[in-house]
Structure 1
Amino acid sequence: MPDFLLELLSEEIPARMQRKAAEDLKKRVTDALVERGLVYEGAQGFATPRRLALSIIGLPPRQPDLREEKKGPRVGAPDQAIQGFLKSAGLASIDEAHIVSDGKKGEFYVAITERPGKETPAVLAEILPGIIRGFPWPKSMRWGAASAEAGSLRWVRPLQSILATFGPETETPDVVRFEVDGIVSSDVTRGHRFLAGPEPILVRRFEDYVAALERAKVVLDTDERKRRILNDAKTMAFALGLEVVEDEGLLEEVAGLVEWPVVLVGTFEEAFLDIPPEVIRATIRANQKCFVLRDAKTGKLANRFIITANIEARDGGAAIAAGNGRVVRARLSDAKFFWETDKRALPGYAASRLKPLDQRLKKLEDLGIIFHEKLGTQGERIARIAALARELAPVVGADPDQAERAARLAKADLVTEMVGEFPELQGLMGRYYAQAQGEDASVAAAVEDHYKPQGPSDRVPTDPVSVAVALADKLDTLVGFWAIDEKPTGSKDPYALRRAALGVIRLVLENGVRVHLVSIARQRLRAIPDREASPSDRDHRDKPGDDVATVAADLLSFFHDRLKVYLRDQGARHDLIDAVLALGTPRSSSPLAGEVVAQRPEGGDKGAGVATPPLTPPRKGEGRGDGEPGKGSVDQTGAGGIVQDDLLMIVRRVEALGRFLDTEDGKNLLAATKRAANILRIEEKKDGRAYDEAPDATLILDAGAEEERVLIEALRVAEMEAKAAVAREDFEGAMKALSLLRGPVDAFFDKVTVNVDDPALRANRLRLLNAIRAATRTVADFSQIAG
């Protein structure tokens, strides 16, 4: 089978665009071929700083012949239908159509179109110009005299040549002939810009192409360039008794800057090692795209760094290393100046007797830097975060004073010289400055860690002070943007609110923290001034007309969505998550228990419509599950339609439900519940009414079957025990209580006929089926579970 080779040679392609461009080229060409009936065996895309390449193996030499049948109207149809068919089928007259007999519907006209397949090179010549012209570069340009013409070619950098060959492995391939804005395809390419001669390189097929480029000092495969850079860097570091501080992102970028990687070692003065190591690494990485080295024994940075050059210099790279060293020293001199400056008193604040980081905080407040026009200044936001961190401290086991102190200092480094130069060091530099002025170790750690986790793979803080401040920071962000209705939409999330929600979820779950998100949201909503209100009405968001409960509920729904994504990524079944979260839907109380499931606690939010618990869940036996009206009992786990804002309990309930359904009792109870629900749905639709009242126990005792009497008692006991277990947050115990229903439910369906002639008995048995469904809802909505 023939193979196809394509190369697009240009000026330097930005490193960040190369890998995706290679994938885009492969996808667009192969999709176009498959669409035209040309199925291939394999395809690979490649990128270097100057070229995109594509190799496709196992292409057929030509398209398959195409035969299409288009069914038309029946014979004898009105002329209007006949004419419409001829037009759509491209026929000149009805005589060109075939007549096909259908035994049931009679005779129909059918238009048969046969097209011979084209030679594959001709197909490639048709599709490639359009793919090249419409290539999806993030940024592109026009060049030369033709750039003034409308519709002229755009490319990431000026395109210089196109190589396109097609043919079998055993023969000399042919050039796929086409032209794009005066650039004519050929079978030649060029090697390294500096290390190879000016002579063009004749290419036959992919294997020859790769070998020829290697001889011309070009490594085609990005991953191979990465491997050589890292291996050579490690070898050189080992020879010096050092090791490379590996950086995958930097390695990917550097591999996109060179076609022929040559690894060298540069140096700088040891005096610069007094600067924090992260600053040295950021300086050398950002400005010189170099790797830092460290002592293999102590782990401390060394005054050496790794350079990746794109040429083999005559002096062995000495001039290149020296030049990079001069630039690095200049950059480190600036960093050292910033470091020393940030640790000194600020002009104008020296007499304030504040510590240097506190002076930065005062400067931040004095500058009135806006966080968001509708959410106030950074100073106002810091005050909100500090207040919330203090409230959360007891929840996570942190000292309230330390949590508030850390929250107040957390943003102070935003106005330091170092963070101004390297924004990616915010938080980290705050920790260094906090340590330098003698702050408690937990406070200093929280200043750095309050931004974490910033993604699914980022580290989650575990120190209680750090957890309190990190939660406060993220929750204030989320509540604030929900308050001003700046929520994520579709793929747009300019304020990274999805990431913030995931951060809250990971902080809560991985640290075993229990907080009630709705309570926090309501309190925080009232702490945010309404800047669109009149000046006399601007203090807080608890004015009449502010729908605090609605905003809080919408934010909780967002948390539930992000929790689903997180749990699914962890391998949890989506239907079990839905089954547990569905309990947040308000429903009537159980037809058997007749208990008040939730009461508003004393001093709760009047008019909010949902019970408002304190920030922390009640301790066992304190206002949870006692079932006494007026005592403020709140089942925050969600049974009976209570808002589920304790994420840790949601997860534990999902885990317990999964384990229960893995047992025989669980599987059988699920099947029985679904059977009961199906019968109810059919009969309720037929009767036009719902059977959600409590079953009549007297009728069962007088006229019911023995299996009914056993089942109603089993339901009463199981639901009572399950609710008590849920109130104790003993979800395993709740599942065990429900498992006792298996026998009575099985016996009921085996021995009892629901749709009997006696209407009263039939209605009562349908209510009994509803009671089965209601009993299982003490732990989950079984209707959401697959199976």
Structure 2
Amino acid sequence: MSGATATLLFELGMEELPPGALDTLSDRLAEALADGLDRAGVSHGEVRALGAPRRLAVQIEAVARRQPDRDFERRGPARAVAFDETGAPTRAAEGFARSCGVDVDQLETLETDEGAWLVHRGTETGRDTDALLPALIDHALTQLPIPKRMRWGDQSSEFVRPVHWVVLMLDQAVVPTEVFGVASGRDSRGHRFHHPGPVRLADAGDYTAAMRAAHVLVDRTDRRDHILEGVRAEGEAIGGHAVIDTELLDEVNALVEWPVVLSGSFDEAFLRVPPEALISSMQGHQRYFPVRDAEGHLLPRFITVANIDSRDPARVIAGNERVIRPRLADAAFFWDQDRARTLESRLPALEQVVFQKQLGSIAEKSARVAALAARYAERFETDAHQAQRAARLAKADLLTEMVDEFPELQGVMGRYYAREDGEPAAVAAALDEIYQPRFAADAVAASPLGRLLAVAERADTLVGIFAIGKVPTGAKDPFALRRAAVGLLRSLIEGEHAIDLAALFQAAAAQQPAALAAAEQVEPLVEFCLERLRGVYQEAGYGAELFEAVRSVRAPGTLTPVDFDRRLRACHDFARLPAAGSLAAANKRIRNILRKAGSEIPATVDKTRLYEPAEQALESALESRTPAVEALIQRGAYSEALAQLAELREPVDRFFDQVMVMSDDPAIQANRLALLQRLQDQFLAIADVSALPESA
């Protein structure tokens, strides 16, 4: 070997991996191997996690060829017991020396506050990296998150798939080892069809180029980009734009080694079926990318990614077109069959579908949601009759053939079937919107009726599940209550609906089975939602101090999310004002002064007892702004109210510079405390700005 560093390559070749496992296993293998080198003290450069359907690989640059030498110090017995009265070594000293491989006279003394001790100091020679790698590889493989392992042949070891070849190299040299019974070497394997033979690697640094020549793109990012660019270009070439779902793109990327983008077509007659059903069929069953035109209408075309560069692409396309036709025909059949019955006709059957055994059937849940929606309809400026109607129909599409085949279309198909049944447009839209937001980046329902149903549905679920004792713990949340709470909070905040959660949960609890004592869960649920709200703001980049500034002035047991949001955003705006830091510090000082006062503070300020110009100026400034500030607070215009209060910076600063609050005269002292109390109350009517950083 030459040079102080080398490129390390480890490749594990196997049967095709589950597509959902490739990215995770590839990343974790690279992390575990790099961590092993770090723990061994072996320096290295860039770490690349590579992989394709039949291989996991890690390439690490500038790996030191050996560990550095390491100085060590091993502490032995105290000198008091290591030598007898004559100075001769005792058995304790001799035993320690023997264990260190030296003579007693080669040991040194370590002086500490606790006394003197024998020590053995030395330098441990670093090992060659190639000698360390087999153990590091074995350890890294044991760290992989493989939920379901398998055995093969006569091997006792287990892995995600049978292993067929192993490459382990440092630059041009093979590092001998054995992994799952397979000896390491320099021979990889190319594409199963384009290059079925071995690929002999001359140098670890040539790996990606050598594999590309063998029709395998091992860099996952490059392969994904290649697929993405190809699919987009093909969509434009056939007169539209490809519908690219990120999860589908990742799945396709994990299925192909040599992606070749092709497009095909299907019978235009299938376009009478709702586009979401056709898209679900193409994406879910065939892993095709649908195509839309410039207006967003679905085209009778699809894009597929083959794993072979065929000499006759037309045959590959024809084969895919033959495969997609029966899938789309099934979707069309489900559409026609489902429309033969109205959603309302399916409602009695919901009585036989269990939501949760202690909480009853889906029909009973729908009735609870309907009652809650009717109660809050006016608060959402919606029609109570429509709210009840939509709530009753919302789960009916669960019993349709289409949703049974494509569960992800729940709600979407309800909207289409409701339109076919002649339901009001608002009701039909709400059957889909009740599920919004479906995921973190999803929008809340666009209509007030949709937001009402989304809130009522989630409130019923939260109260019911809490009442049966299935509160989320740690990472366990089988009923997705955290997601439900966030969806409820976002619907209220973004829809600007001033609803108190305690009252909402009380109303929902009244609908639950009497044996559950659901009302006892209202306060814990409010706190649960408050913690979810904290997480929402943290993810949005708001500091924890803003959250605490608002939380601390909240009345116990209550939470109106939209009001909380307005206050927090007002604090965020206030914190950017030049006066914010000074007023935050002043409020901290006021809080401490009032806390230590120890006497009853008057309810009002006696102007006749204000003797100092600075206290008179503060009282005057506060008095002049109070009506406007209170009016703004009443309207929920908290940012404007804090902006008004920010103008008190100068008189507040002057007050503390020139006035002694704790006067020797008790009456003057009490009056000044009353002035500070009044000032603090103005701020506390919005938030505790003393929680904000003074450097804001």
With normalisation by structure 1, the TM-score equals: 0.79
Q: Does the residue aligned with 1:118 lie in a helix, a strand or coil?
A: coil
**Alignment-derived partner of residue 366 in structure 2:** 382
The correspondence for 1:332, drawn from 328, 334, 356, is 328
Identity over aligned pairs, percent: 37
- Post-superposition Cα deviations, 1:542-572, rounded to whole Å, max 9, x if no partner, equal xxxx7x3x52222111221122221222232
* Map 1:478-489 → 2, pairs under 5 A: 478-489=462-473
- CA shift in 2, pair 1:73/1:308, >3 Å: same
**Alignment-derived partner of residue 307 in structure 1:** 304
CA distance in 2, matches of 1:301, 1:706: 75
CA distance in 2, matches of 1:512, 1:463: 12
The correspondence for 2:37, drawn from 21, 33, 37, is 33
* Map 1:222-301 → 2, pairs under 5 A: 222-294=220-292, 296-301=293-298
Pairwise CA distance, 1:769:
6.5
Q: Is the 8 A contact 1:73 1:85 kept in 2?
A: no
Q: Does the residue aligned with 1:9 lie in a helix, a strand or coil?
A: strand
Q: Is the 8 A contact 1:91 1:97 kept in 2?
A: no
The correspondence for 1:363, drawn from 345, 349, 369, is 349
- CA shift in 2, pair 1:679/1:41, >3 Å: farther
CA distance in 2, matches of 1:386, 1:740: 49
Q: Does the residue aligned with 1:15 lie in a helix, a strand or coil?
A: coil
**Alignment-derived partner of residue 630 in structure 1:** none
Pairwise CA distance, 1:42:
0.6
Pairwise CA distance, 1:727:
3.5
Pairwise CA distance, 1:180:
2.4
- Post-superposition Cα deviations, 1:367-410, rounded to whole Å, max 9, x if no partner, equal x2110112111001101111222222222222222222111111
CA distance in 2, matches of 1:397, 1:123: 70
CA distance in 2, matches of 1:247, 1:698: 65
Q: Is the 8 A contact 1:393 1:464 kept in 2?
A: no
* Map 1:66-465 → 2, pairs under 5 A: 66-69=70-73, 76=80, 91=100, 95-100=105-110, 109-146=118-155, 152-167=156-171, 173-198=172-197, 200-294=198-292, 296-318=293-315, 320-345=316-341, 356-365=342-351, 368-465=352-449
1:46 equivalenced with 2:50 (yes/no): yes
**Alignment-derived partner of residue 87 in structure 2:** none
Q: Is the 8 A contact 2:190 2:216 kept in 1?
A: yes
Letter in 2 for 1:557: E
Q: Is the 8 A contact 2:569 2:639 kept in 1?
A: no
Unaligned 5+ runs, structure 1: 147-151, 168-172, 346-355, 533-540, 585-640, 685-689
CA distance in 2, matches of 1:692, 1:756: 13
- Post-superposition Cα deviations, 1:610-640, rounded to whole Å, max 9, x if no partner, equal xxxxxxxxxxxxxxxxxxxxxxxxxxxxxxx
Pairwise CA distance, 1:778:
2.6
Q: Is the 8 A contact 2:8 2:60 kept in 1?
A: yes
Q: Is the 8 A contact 2:76 2:96 kept in 1?
A: no
CA distance in 2, matches of 1:133, 1:488: 30
The correspondence for 2:28, drawn from 24, 29, 33, is 24
CA distance in 1, matches of 2:397, 2:79: 84
Pairwise CA distance, 1:43:
0.8
Pairwise CA distance, 1:238:
3.9
Letter in 2 for 1:11: E
RMSD: 3.4
Q: Does the residue aligned with 2:538 lie in a helix, a strand or coil?
A: helix
**Alignment-derived partner of residue 65 in structure 2:** 61
- CA shift in 2, pair 1:119/1:192, >3 Å: same
Letter in 2 for 1:40: H
- Post-superposition Cα deviations, 1:238-280, rounded to whole Å, max 9, x if no partner, equal 4433432222221211121111122333333332222111111
Letter in 1 for 2:312: D
Letter in 1 for 2:302: F
Letter in 1 for 2:343: L
* Map 1:604-753 → 2, pairs under 5 A: 641=555, 643-678=557-592, 684=596, 691=598, 693-694=600-601, 725-732=632-639, 734-736=641-643, 738-739=645-646, 741-753=648-660
**Alignment-derived partner of residue 494 in structure 1:** 478
Pairwise CA distance, 1:33:
0.4
**Count of matched residue pairs:** 684
Q: Does the residue aligned with 1:527 lie in a helix, a strand or coil?
A: coil
**Alignment-derived partner of residue 535 in structure 2:** 565
CA distance in 2, matches of 1:750, 1:201: 81
Letter in 2 for 1:119: D
CA distance in 2, matches of 1:730, 1:255: 50
Q: Is the 8 A contact 2:36 2:140 kept in 1?
A: no
Q: Does the residue aligned with 2:165 lie in a helix, a strand or coil?
A: strand
CA distance in 2, matches of 1:379, 1:210: 58
Identify the range of structure 1 (756-765 vs 423-432) with the bigger mean alpha-carbon deviation: 756-765
Pairwise CA distance, 1:705:
6.2
Q: Does the residue aligned with 2:552 lie in a helix, a strand or coil?
A: helix
CA distance in 1, matches of 2:612, 2:91: 69
Q: Is the 8 A contact 2:581 2:693 kept in 1?
A: no
- CA shift in 2, pair 1:531/1:376, >3 Å: farther
With normalisation by structure 2, the TM-score equals: 0.89
- CA shift in 2, pair 1:15/1:692, >3 Å: farther
- Post-superposition Cα deviations, 1:169-222, rounded to whole Å, max 9, x if no partner, equal xxxx21111112421111111111122142x22113344222221221111122
Pairwise CA distance, 1:412:
0.5
- CA shift in 2, pair 1:6/1:733, >3 Å: closer
CA distance in 2, matches of 1:239, 1:779: 58
Pairwise CA distance, 1:658:
2.6
Q: Does the residue aligned with 1:479 lie in a helix, a strand or coil?
A: helix
Q: Does the residue aligned with 1:136 lie in a helix, a strand or coil?
A: coil
Q: Is the 8 A contact 1:4 1:164 kept in 2?
A: yes
Letter in 2 for 1:341: Q
Q: Does the residue aligned with 2:355 lie in a helix, a strand or coil?
A: strand
- CA shift in 2, pair 1:39/1:766, >3 Å: farther
Q: Does the residue aligned with 1:52 lie in a helix, a strand or coil?
A: strand
CA distance in 1, matches of 2:667, 2:236: 88
- Post-superposition Cα deviations, 1:436-477, rounded to whole Å, max 9, x if no partner, equal 111111111111111010122112222122121112112221
Q: Is the 8 A contact 2:586 2:690 kept in 1?
A: no
- CA shift in 2, pair 1:643/1:181, >3 Å: closer
CA distance in 2, matches of 1:701, 1:108: 77
CA distance in 2, matches of 1:714, 1:183: 84
Q: Is the 8 A contact 1:268 1:303 kept in 2?
A: yes
- CA shift in 2, pair 1:236/1:455, >3 Å: closer
Pairwise CA distance, 1:312:
3.0
Q: Is the 8 A contact 2:604 2:674 kept in 1?
A: no
Pairwise CA distance, 1:44:
0.5
Letter in 1 for 2:191: H
- Post-superposition Cα deviations, 1:722-770, rounded to whole Å, max 9, x if no partner, equal 5565344342454256446544543443234567788998898778767
CA distance in 2, matches of 1:484, 1:572: 34
Q: Is the 8 A contact 1:718 1:775 kept in 2?
A: no
CA distance in 2, matches of 1:307, 1:188: 32
Letter in 1 for 2:16: E
- Post-superposition Cα deviations, 1:399-433, rounded to whole Å, max 9, x if no partner, equal 22222211111110000111111111111111110
Q: Is the 8 A contact 2:601 2:673 kept in 1?
A: no
